[in-house]
């Protein structure tokens, strides 16, 4: 891991000329929703070929100026991350595994031909923003400050090659429960569209993957479902993941299965954390392939008792019903299963500081 010393960067802090009033902020925090309200500040750091990272600033959140020829607007050189800051019962603030986000950000950067950001700088940028905007962290169950670090190609150039200028930005958004309805179990639609193909960008957290998933997701909604599940591109047979969440299958003998990371699945940090927690519970957890046909057969026979999706935004969400062009099946009783609830509670308790952090996952923000 590159240290801060390697970059020689220090942050310039710019005071906000007109911060949000405590009253207006209180109204937002009383009902934060997801992704529609933002804190007063942001971090920006620029990168220029030959110079590296420079001009680290934490200042007022405001629109950014981009040349209309900026490469990101034409060829989608963009990557992002998502993580949360939690207000603990004792009033302290914690981040959950931000180093893992930093490492994944750099793997995404490599795939999108973008410069890597020293991991310590990534984490410091987040810590600085959370500390400055700490009054924006909502309290209470399911609430957090959602952090969105991202990087865009800013060079004005229409030729097709990696850009020579980039901007790294972190913004923050108070968040309540992710699924508006607070639904106990979601229903999902098996898409005929493909999210990721072998050799493609499926393992990178890039905006382009999401742009391509909007039509499949809209189709799922139009058909009355909450989310879309994607199968593999080559055989259209193996279950991969949802548009922005990984999947786990729970069998009646207590074993768990999650699709293996073959390069077309996003390596979720929630997925990885649950692998560890489930093994600690004494459960057998396998990473492997699971077909849609087997899923349907096992759900019908009762061999499969639960399925859940996981990701930072919604943490753990039960899947109750699966529909596709071949028909529909229900998982378990159609509601959230026992193990789904147990694993979710274990993870949330660690994130909120209510259970001991035996894995070094929690990073306190001063």
Question: Contact positions toward ligand PLP, by CB under 6 A?
Answer: 82, 205, 241, 244-246, 266, 268-271, 311-312
CB of 274 to ligand PLP, least distance (A): 9
- Report, in Å, the least distance between residue 270 CB and ligand PLP: 3
Nearer to ligand PLP, 37 or 258 (CB): 258
State the minimum distance, in angstroms, from the CB of residue 241 to ligand PLP. 5
Shortest distance (Å) from residue 25 CB to ligand PLP: 26
The CB-of-135 to ligand PLP minimum distance in angstroms stands at 25
Provide, rounded to whole angstroms, the least separation between the CB of residue 33 and ligand PLP. Answer: 19
| Burial (CB count within 10 angstroms: exposed 0-12, middle 13-18, buried 19+), residue 161 | exposed
Which residue's CB is nearer to ligand PLP, number 108 or number 154?
Answer: 108
Residues in the chain: 366
Give me the helices (H) in 112-143, please.
Answer: 119-132
To ligand PLP, the closest distance from the beta carbon of 203 in angstroms equals 9
Query: In Å, how far are 41, 106, 145, 150, 174 from 171, measured between CA atoms?
Result: 7, 18, 10, 9, 10
- By C-beta, is 72 or 245 nearer to ligand PLP? 245
Question: What is the nearest approach in angstroms of ligand PLP to the Cβ of residue 210?
Answer: 7
Q: For ligand PLP, give the closer residue by CB, 132 or 233.
A: 233
CA distance 285 to 306: 14
Nearest to 102 by CA among 83, 87, 130: 83
Residue 133: how many CB atoms within 10 A of its CB? 26
Cβ of 243: how many Cβ atoms within 10 Å? 22
Which of residues 66 and 212 has its CB atom nearest to ligand PLP in the complex? 212
17: left (phi over 0), alpha (psi -120 to 50) or beta: alpha
In 3D space, the residue among 212, 176, 174 whose CA is nearest the CA of residue 193 turns out to be: 212
Calculate ∠ Cα 152-194-170, nearest 5°. Answer: 20
Buried b (16+ CB within 10 A) or exposed e, 101-132: bbbbbbebbebbebbbbbbbbbbbbbbbbbeb
Pick between residue 53 and residue 248 the one whose CB is nearest to ligand PLP: 248
Q: Considering beta carbons, is residue 9 or 277 the nearer one to ligand PLP?
A: 277
CA distance 190 to 124: 40
Among 242, 166, 234, residue whose Cα is nearest residue 210: 242
Q: Judged by CB, which is closer to ligand PLP: 115, or 244?
A: 244
């Amino acid at each position: 891991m590159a240290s801060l010393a390697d970059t020689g960067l220090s942050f310039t802090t710019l005071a906000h000329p007109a911060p949000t009033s405590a009253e207006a902020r209180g109204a937002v925090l009383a009902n934060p929703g997801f992704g529609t309200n933002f804190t007063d500040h942001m971090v920006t750091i620029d990168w220029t070929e030959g110079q590296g990272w420079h001009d680290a600033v934490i200042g007022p959140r405001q629109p950014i100026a981009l040349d209309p020829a900026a490469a990101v607007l034409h060829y989608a050189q963009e990557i992002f991350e998502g993580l949360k800051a939690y207000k603990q019962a004792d009033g302290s603030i914690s981040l959950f595994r931000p180093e893992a986000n930093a490492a994944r950000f750099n793997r995404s950067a490599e795939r999108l031909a973008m410069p890597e950001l020293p991991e310590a700088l990534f984490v410091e940028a987040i810590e600085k923003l959370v500390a400055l905007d700490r009054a924006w962290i909502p309290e209470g169950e399911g609430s957090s400050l959602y952090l969105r670090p991202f990087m865009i190609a800013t060079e004005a150039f229409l030729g097709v090659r990696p850009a020579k200028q980039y901007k790294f930005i972190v913004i923050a958004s108070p968040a309540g429960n992710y699924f508006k309805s607070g639904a106990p179990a979601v229903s999902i639609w098996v898409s005929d569209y493909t999210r990721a193909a072998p050799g493609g960008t499926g393992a990178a957290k890039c905006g382009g993957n999401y742009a391509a998933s909007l039509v499949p997701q809209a189709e799922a909604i139009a058909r009355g479902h909450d989310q879309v599940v994607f199968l593999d591109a080559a055989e259209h047979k193996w279950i991969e993941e949802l548009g922005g969440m990984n999947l786990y299958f729970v069998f009646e003998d207590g074993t768990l299965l999650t699709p293996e990371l073959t390069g077309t699945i996003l390596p979720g940090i929630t997925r990885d954390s649950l692998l560890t927690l489930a093994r600690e519970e004494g459960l057998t957890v396998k990473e492997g392939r699971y077909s849609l046909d087997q899923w349907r057969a096992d759900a019908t026979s009762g061999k499969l008792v639960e399925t859940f999706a996981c990701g930072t935004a919604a943490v753990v969400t039960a899947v109750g019903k699966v529909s596709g062009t071949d028909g529909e099946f229900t998982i378990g009783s159609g509601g959230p299963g026992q193990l789904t609830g147990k694993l979710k509670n274990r993870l949330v308790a660690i994130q909120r500081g209510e259970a001991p952090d035996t894995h070094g996952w929690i990073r306190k923000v001063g």
